[in-house]
Amino acid sequence: MAASITRKCVLWCVLFIACAACLNVSQARIVGTFVLPHGGIALAPKYFNTTNHTAKSEAWALHNSAEVVGQKISQLRPDVIFLSTPHGISSLTDFLFYLNTNAYGVAETDNCDCPPCCYNVTADLDFTLSQHILSELKDNSMNVSGIVGYGPPGNSEVFPLRWGEVVPLYFALKSHSTEVVILSHPSRRYNHSDEMIPELLSLGSFLYQTLNRIDQTVAVVISADLAHTHDKNGPYGYSPDAEPFDKACGRWATTLNEGDILDIAAKYVNNALSCGYTGLVMLHGLLRSADLSTWQPHLYANYHPSYYGMMVAEFMPKTW
């Protein structure tokens, strides 16, 4: 008798777990989230003009990791890539969605301009989805707006892209059947990144809720470079805050430990001068609204071959 009850129990438990797993799979609209650099050195290390072999091999490690992540994204066959850029066409105050249907742009490398070193990307923008996400975020009082070039929203004139979008899409966008949604961070991020933390966490959380309710599958890509003050001869000079900032970002990407990104990196960001920080915090808000333990973090590379740091990372939904 007791044995038969146990058997029934086990049977029901197995059924229940199987069902839960099924539901979970069918609800997994976000198929993966990724951090990719947009620095020209990661794009094409062969043009990186250095005699320092360590720096050169770090540049290749970043490039090869970005290639691996790009292949992974194409294997996931997302309907949409949601790209967050800190270097796009930006508003002073609002996060902007690009509302044309076509976009094109060129990036170059740090030591070789275009031409001859042209890296071009053409993207089909998902105007309907962009508008949907925009209106959901607006309904939740987020500072968001749309921007459209040369005609009404949804027109097919070509919206201009530059390195902040082109470099990550060069790695991530391999299929013509994948459309793109682009969110451009406001330029108040330059001097107010740390004050934006609560807002970025809310934005990430509403993004998670919206993306998980749509019909398409989505890969989230954060275009981000790290500290720009690693080298006294670089354009932004040297700050002792650069190194601990990049290390804190790397620890966060390895463990998803909240203190590293929201407290430690925040303390250094104003002198580290990172154009990636706001995207990383927004991503953290997205990830934690699903419960951090449901994601598998992985840091592929975190280096500064020249004056600026870059990292490649992924946070995949754990499979059952």
Question: Please, what is the minimum distance in Å from the beta carbon of residue 153 to ligand NAG?
Answer: 22
135 versus 143: smaller Cβ distance to ligand NAG: 143
Nearer to ligand NAG, 8 or 46 (CB): 46
83-112 residues near ligand NAG, rule: CB under 6 A: 93, 106, 111
Question: Of 177, 191, 233, 319, which lies in the binding site for ligand NAG, with binding defined by CB under 6 A?
Answer: 191
Give the number of residues in contact with ligand NAG, rule: CB under 6 A: 21
Q: How far is the CB of 84 from ligand NAG (least distance, A)?
A: 16
Three-class SS of the chain? CHHHHHHHHHHHHHHHHHHHHHHHHHHCCEEEEEEECCCHHHHCHHHCCCCCHHHHHHHHHHHHHHHHHHHHHHHHCCCEEEEEECCCCCCCCCEEEECCCEEEEEECECCECCCCCCEEEEEEECHHHHHHHHHHHHHCCCCEEEECCCCCCCCCCEEEECHHHHHHHHHHCCCCCCEEEEEECCCCHHHHCHHHHHHHHHHHHHHHHHHCCCCCCEEEEEECECECCECCCCCCCECCCHHHHHHHHHHHHHHCCHHHHHHHHHHHHHHHCECCHHHHHHHHHHHHCCCHHHEEEEEEEEECCCCCCEEEEEEEECCC
54 binds ligand NAG (CB under 6 A): yes
The neighbouring-strand residues paired with 314 are 34, 298
With respect to ligand NAG, which residue has the nearer C-beta, 29 or 38? Answer: 38
Distance CA 220, CA 181 (A): 10
Q: Is 194 in the site for ligand NAG (CB under 6 A)?
A: no
Q: x-or-dash pattern for ligand NAG, window 300-319, by CB under 6 A?
A: ----xx--------------
Which position among 24, 28, 55, 316 is part of the footprint of ligand NAG (CB under 6 A)? 55
Note whether 57 binds ligand NAG by CB under 6 A.
no
Which residue lies nearer to ligand NAG by CB, 184 or 295? 184
Residues of span 129-188 touching ligand NAG by CB under 6 A: 141-143, 187
CB contact burial 98-128 (16+ within 10 A = b; e otherwise): bbbbebebbbbbbebeeeebebebebebbbe
Residue type, 174: K
Q: Which is nearer to ligand NAG, 21 or 195 (CB)?
A: 195
Q: How far is the CB of 319 from ligand NAG (least distance, A)?
A: 34
Least Cβ distance, residue 31 to ligand NAG (angstroms)? 28
If binding is defined by CB under 6 A, does position 271 make contact with ligand NAG?
A: no
Dihedral of CA 253/259/262/263: which sign? Answer: negative
- Residue number with CB closer to ligand NAG (115 or 152): 115
Q: Does 270 bind ligand NAG (CB under 6 A)?
A: no
For the bound state, the minimum distance from the C-beta of residue 23 to ligand NAG, rounded and expressed in Å, comes to: 32
Determine if 118 is a binding residue for ligand NAG (CB under 6 A): yes
By CB under 6 A, residue 199 contacts ligand NAG: yes
Give the nearest distance from C-beta 275 to ligand NAG in angstroms.
Answer: 12
Distance in Å, CB of 61 to ligand NAG, minimum: 11
Residues that bind ligand NAG (CB under 6 A): 49, 52, 54-55, 58, 93, 106, 111, 114-115, 118, 120, 141-143, 187, 190-191, 199, 304-305
